[in-house]
Amino acid sequence: MAELSCEVLVVGAGPTGLMLANWLTRLGVRVLVVDGKDGPTRESRALVVQARSLEIYDQLGIGDQVLDAACRAEALSPGTGARVFGRIPVGPLGQGVTPYPFLEVLEQSRNEEILYDNLRKLGGDVVWETPVTAMTQVEEGVEAKVGNDTVRARFCVGCDGASSAVRKARRIPFEGSTNAHRFYVLDAAAAAGLVTGAVNVRPGGREFLLAFPMPGRGNWRLIGLIRDEDADGVLDEDDVRERLRSTFAITFDRTRWFATYRVHHRVAAAFRDGPFFLAGDAGHVHSPVGAQGMNTGLQDAHNLAFKLADVLQGRRKDTWLDRYEAERRPVARTLVATTDRLFRAVTSERPVARALRGAAIRLAAPVAVRVLPRTAGGSRLFQYVSQIRIHYPIGPEARTADGKRDPVVGRRLPWTGRNFAVLRSADWQIHGYGGVEGTEAPDLGLPVHIFPAAPATALRPGYFYLVRPDGFVASRAEPAEAEVKFRHAMAV
């Protein structure tokens, strides 16, 4: 038995825990990551990496590795039953708002492998096969029983999934509901009947199917409702295979993985309890509709890492950490509520709901295929799904005079095509976009980056912008007011 110490104890080495450990290690924080598993996940449900998560991977310096490993879905293909209504190209929807205007399919296990490999390159590691069995709050922070050892840490972050030991130990309620249906997930080899290179979405009637292209020809991840079709009392692959063939005209040679599960919609009552924090599935779980789960956890970790580093390295007081819950829990609540409503709509067994669902798909899908790529509404939908449009309550500037959300302050920095490379330094910085050349920049000891005007964005010439290390805009000011305003924005 030994007594170990660190600044942050990360419980759980899934995508969220590994992302948190990567950023904390890079920022110079002493981290201990522990997990009861024997290594990175081999089978996983999460598999889409959204644009905002790719931006975070790029900031970490491993964006190219993720893209090389991923299978790109260039379109959405709506349909119902065996009928397909065409393709909605994703690229045009995200054009001009992100360097990554597509859906990248990369299962959780590969995300974990890439993050774990990068963590070791940074000098960190994971203590596998070592569960946390007890934890208490002490004067210096946290004391935890980890395997046969005692660990003392300033902070502890539970990234240990929906059955989080950290959340249970702190007795934080996990509020929400469980969908009555059971779902399957399977990896099909040599599948036919699907629109290639696209995410196939086929709700309607009593059925629901999501199909994601996977690396390798004819390989697909299929998700849908499962029923005991052969009445043998067992929910297995045979129940799915016949239903896919008869309802969706989809066939496949064999499965590489098959599992069933129930969908939960829950949010933890708190994301912070003193020196304890929750991130990822430990704080929120929901349906796979929209492919948001893993991405939300990755972004929880990204947000929290900078705040922990600021406090541990003396740049901020402990109250700065309260902003993590203030910023990320509303995101989780909105996401869970939205996916819950959508999921209920596509799985309701009520005859009226089924009839309306089928009619809506037949009427709306053909229109969407023609109209969405050419409208502002299509771009806005992409921004919501890709999690680019998230807004944080960063001070009074995050709201306009009429109470609306500011188009820049409180949001992720708008992409201009050339301004994201400087974010890789992961520090507070000041930006200007035309109209400030020759003016005196605020003397705050921060790097200053001047770019050409960006008329296609909401960034206005003649202003300086204060950008946080996580890429969110904290304040905007004219040159004469910038130093005072930015000092205040950095202090709150």
At 127-141, the pLDDT tens digits run 999 999 999 999 999
Classify 10 as helix, strand or coil.
strand
Question: Are 436 and 487 within 8 A, CB to CB?
Answer: no
* Closest to 265 measured CA to CA, from 182, 360, 162, 345: 162
Where do the H-state alpha helices sit in 27-126? Answer: 51-60, 63-69, 91-94, 108-121
Question: Are 317 and 311 within 8 A, CB to CB?
Answer: yes
The ranges of the chain with pLDDT < 70 are 1-2, 43, 180, 204-206, 227-234, 288-291, 340-377
Copy the structure tokens of residue 121: 């390159």
Question: Are 398 and 330 within 8 A, CB to CB?
Answer: no
Question: Are 300 and 267 within 8 A, CB to CB?
Answer: no
Our measurement of the distance from residue 84's CA atom to the centroid of its chain's CA atoms, rounded to an integer in Å, reads 29
Copy the structure tokens of residue 454: 């960006």
User: Where in 101-232 does DSSP place strands (E)?
Assistant: 103-105, 126-127, 132-138, 141-146, 149-158, 174-189, 198-204, 207-213, 220-225
Question: Are 463 and 487 within 8 A, CB to CB?
Answer: no
C-alpha span between 178 and 263 (Å, rounded): 6
Strands 149-158 and 88-89: unpaired
Tokens 């005692």 correspond to what residue?
A: 150
Copy the structure tokens of residue 47: 């598999």
Classify 386 as helix, strand or coil.
coil
Our measurement of the distance from residue 266's CA atom to the centroid of its chain's CA atoms, rounded to an integer in Å, reads 16
Copy the structure tokens of residue 226: 């499962």
* Closest to 300 measured CA to CA, from 13, 53, 40: 53
What pairs with residue 175 in β-bridges? 267
Measured between alpha carbons, how far is residue 474 from residues 31, 155, 252, 306, 437 in Å?
28, 25, 51, 14, 21
